[in-house]
Chains A and B, each alone.
Chain A
Amino acid sequence: MSQAVLETETAPSAHMDLLRFATAGSVDDGKSTLIGRLLFDTKTIFADQLEAVEAVSAARGDEYTNLALLTDGLRAEREQGITIDVAYRYFATPRRKFIIADTPGHIQYTRNMVTGASTADLALILVDARKGLVEQSRRHAFLTSLLRVPHLVLCVNKMDLVDWDKSVYDKIADEFTSFAAKLDVPDLTIIPISALNGDNVASRSENSPWYEGPSLLHHLEHVHIASDRNLVDVRFPVQYVIRPQSTTVTDYRGYAGQVASGVLKPGDEVMVLPSGLTSTIAGIDTADGPVDEAFPPMSVTVRLTDEIDISRGDLICRPHNAPAVAQDVEAMICWMDESAPLRVGGKYTIKHTTRTARTVVRGLQYRLDVNTLHRDEDAGELRLNEIGRVTLRTTVPLLADEYRRNRTTGGFILIDEGTNRTVAAGMIIEAR
């Protein structure tokens, strides 16, 4: 196997930024091979890992070093040749550190794709050039848009097996582009590759002179993610109240949390929800000293000038830009539990930012067929991996935004009160 030459050869430094991406594909379209290839070409795979994979490959009688074995770690996965669970992978180039959420494409694992996409800046979907778009490609694209992943990359893989025929690529690209147009995908890039041979993965391939775009790695390194963050709406969910019980620090009361969106500065007038009381930021502290401003994803401790009663689950925002204080929530739900379906009237624990409440399902408007986008308004329940629109009523108000405007204050999970399992992911459409 030849080692591709990276465009820059310096080692990863302490000053990279971070890009999280999720990969999805069906069982045989070479996703694990592509990830193995990215790790290999960025010199992330270590000699002992490669040796182990080579040995297992040889023992299984594979004709080439099966890079998929690098990512399929669990015993059952190796035995069945499938990926069961979301696996997290890491690699870095001098520009960026990458976290891959590698999600299985197998039909029953929609929940893993939703899980991986929930934190992703970018989603990477693979299709086999010989087969073109399949049901799963459309489903993955839909889930990417449902989870509001800002950037989407379609890799048309196994181009070597269609002799790098431009017309094959064009047909898939056109079809996918027109499908994506219906989905509200903000940024789409399509790249012809051969994961097995490394074409257009770490560097541009001579096999595709007709393709003028970047290699996959170049795109991952350069895609602009800084402005994906919401720096407009100040949302600071209070996580924990810091009140030192010590003789050296007295009268300290700070509200610890991670900035969900917006920029906070000392002197800013703020409002605390759900009470609606207003105050002013006295200071923003970190263990390394006070800071002049705080923005996502910083974890800081905010002090206010007034003594008001604030506890975990409350939210600090600006008086003229506040989320809804709402007990009635319209949301899209992805059901993730195999033991019991979601039913109207069901009661669950809801976790939304740092706030936990109870909720009852008031209504199920429709179940969405993720392949055809058809809405089944007669559906009475949602089963594992099904998606639908529901109405919820909560015991205490949530401090919520629309998910499309804010992925942190617009997302929630439902927890089964008996089993404690996480049974659903929810994306708020409207809160009132």
Chain B
Amino acid sequence: MSQTKPYRVSHLDALEAESIFVMREVMAEFERPVLLFSGGKDSIVMLRLAEKAFAPARIPFPVMHVDTGHNFAEVLDFRDSRVAAMGLNLVVASVQEAIDTGLVRELPDGTRNRIQTPVLLNAVEKYRFDALFGGARRDEEKARAKERMFSFRDEFGQWDPKNQRPELWALYNGRHHPGESIRVFPLSNWTELDVWHYIAREQIPLPDIYYAHDREVVERDGMFYAVNEFIRLREGETSQVRRVRYRTVGDASQTAAVLSDADTVEKVIDEVAATRITERGATRGDDKVSEAAMEDRKREGYF
């Protein structure tokens, strides 16, 4: 921990200490925790916090990736190299496999954000996970601002915003009946800028697509989507090579890049500090559906 004055802690130290506390609570009170790891920056930060929480022991739970099949190759490579380097047990819940076996049906528009929820719930049931760490932050979206650190989910994985457990002091209530589970959000109190300051301080490696690079993109609804196997040019559209980076990494068919010259972590921090648009607003087609799009998906069991 870095200290500037005696008995002073920076906000990053305070956030880190809180996240570590939450992870240890879960390990102490649950039978089968799992950490949701997508290869995105928030889950990468969570993994670093888990490493710190249990050192010098290894991370005592597996990680799970809900794989929509629409991935950025760089992110999958990164996922696999981190998992190998840290000796983690990786569970992949595959949306493609679920489509093939008939658990879910491909939507007419080909997007897979909505159908990943049953795939996630199916994996939870299969492996009997009782606590799931997610990297969601309350600053991301207004429905998430009312989310608890320990978020109770019924046997259908559903979130009921009007029936949440009060959360007092640091006394988290993880009690649940068999089949129910708790979603745990150790980064609840972090903002996008906090995450980047922490990545810089801890020198945490990220997939390259978080930094500025040249990429063939197409402009749609004011957002820049990479042209690749998931996003093809429609009639009348033309692609262009622009200098871009990704602020969030989700389903490759739904996640847009932002125009940026920020090719180092310091430049990204300057950019994030100055930016005027939320990261989900700038980059996520999936949140634009309705005013309460996120609330609706969370009720269904999404993170």
Q: Do A and B bind each other?
A: yes
- In angstroms, Cα B53 to Cα A70, docked, is 35
The answer, yes or no, to whether B170 is at the interface (CB within 8 Å) is yes
Complex interface bits, B1-17 against A, C-beta within 8 A gives 1, otherwise 0: 10010011111111111
Contact residue among A11, A256, A408 (Cβ-Cβ distance under 8 Å from B24): A256
Q: Are A312 and B18 in contact (CB under 8 A)?
A: no
Measured CA separation A87–B200 after assembly (Å): 29
Interface residues on A, range: 35 or more
B147: nearest chain-A partner, CB-CB = A88
Docked complex: B244-303 residues within 8 A CB-CB of A: 270, 273-278, 281-282, 291-292, 295
B194, A287: Cβ atoms closer than 8 Å: no
Inter-chain contact A85/B189, CB cutoff 8 Å: no
Residue in contact with A297 in the complex, picked from B17, B165, B276, B282, CB distance below 8 Å? B17
Determine if A17 and B8 form an interchain contact, defined as CB atoms under 8 angstroms apart: yes
**CB-nearest residue of chain B relative to A70?**
B142
Q: Does the CB pair A15–B4 fall under 8 Å? A: yes
Residues of B contacting A182 in the complex (Cβ-Cβ under 8 angstroms): none
- Is there a chain B Cβ closer than 8 Å to A299's Cβ? yes
Write out the residue numbers on chain B whose beta carbons fall within 8 Å of the beta carbon of A258. 17, 20-21, 170
Partner of B57, one of A90, A244, A298, A407: A244
Of B64-72, B77-85, B171-179, the one touching chain A:
B171-179
- The residues in B between 206 and 264 inclusive whose CB is less than 8 angstroms from any CB of A are none
Q: Distance in Å from the Cβ of A190 to the closest Cβ of chain B?
A: 28
- Does A12 make an interface contact (CB < 8 A)? yes
| Binary contact readout B195-208 vs A (1 if CB under 8 angstroms, 0 otherwise) | 00100110000000
B25 is contacted by which of A99, A239, A411 (Cβ under 8 Å)? A239
**Chain B residues near A425 (CB, 8 Å)?**
166, 168
Q: Chain B residues with Cβ under 8 A from A249's Cβ?
A: 56-57
Give chain A residues whose Cβ lies under 8 Å from the Cβ of B291.
Answer: 52, 56, 78
Given A49-B281, A92-B193, A422-B173: A74 and B161 within 8 A (CB)? Answer: yes
Nearest chain B residue, comparing its CB with the CB of A338? B163
Q: Which residues of B contact A75 (CB under 8 A)?
A: 292, 295
- Residue contact B177 to A420, C-beta cutoff 8 Å: yes
Number of interface residues of B (CB under 8 A): 69
With contacts A46-B281, A297-B14, A425-B168 known, is A11 near B273, CB below 8 A? yes
B143 within 8 A of A: yes
Question: Which one of A107-115, A123-131, A200-208, A374-382 is at the interface?
Answer: A107-115
**CB-CB nearest in chain B for A413:** B171
Q: Report whether B282 and A48 are in contact in the complex, using a CB–CB cutoff of 8 Å.
A: yes
Q: Is B55 an interface residue (CB 8 A)?
A: yes
Please name all residues of chain A whose beta carbon is closer than 8 Å to the beta carbon of B51 when the two chains form the complex. 287
Decide if A415 is an interface residue (CB 8 Å cutoff). Answer: yes
Interface presence of A73 (CB below 8 A): yes
Determine whether the beta carbon of A47 is less than 8 Å from that of B25: no
Contact A15-B1, Cβ < 8 Å, known A47-B276, A118-B169? no
Listed in ascending order, the chain B residues whose CB lies under 8 Å from chain A are 1, 4, 7-18, 20-21, 24-25, 27-28, 51-58, 138-139, 141-143, 145-146, 161-162, 164-171, 173, 175-177, 188-189, 191, 193-194, 197, 200-201, 270, 273-278, 281-282, 291-292, 295
Q: Which residues of A contact B (CB under 8 A)?
A: 11-18, 46-49, 52, 56, 70-76, 78, 84-90, 92, 96-97, 99, 111-112, 114-115, 118-119, 226, 229, 231, 239-240, 242-246, 249, 252, 256-258, 263, 285-288, 291, 295, 297-299, 301, 312, 336, 349, 351-352, 354, 407-408, 411-413, 415, 420-422, 425
CB pairs A–B below 8 angstroms (8 shown): A17-B11, A87-B142, A88-B146, A118-B169, A246-B57, A258-B20, A258-B170, A413-B171
Known: A90-B191, A239-B24, A422-B167. 17 other contacts (CB 8 A): A13-B197, A15-B4, A73-B141, A73-B145, A73-B295, A85-B161, A96-B11, A114-B168, A115-B168, A252-B56, A297-B17, A299-B17, A349-B175, A411-B168, A411-B171, A421-B165, A422-B166
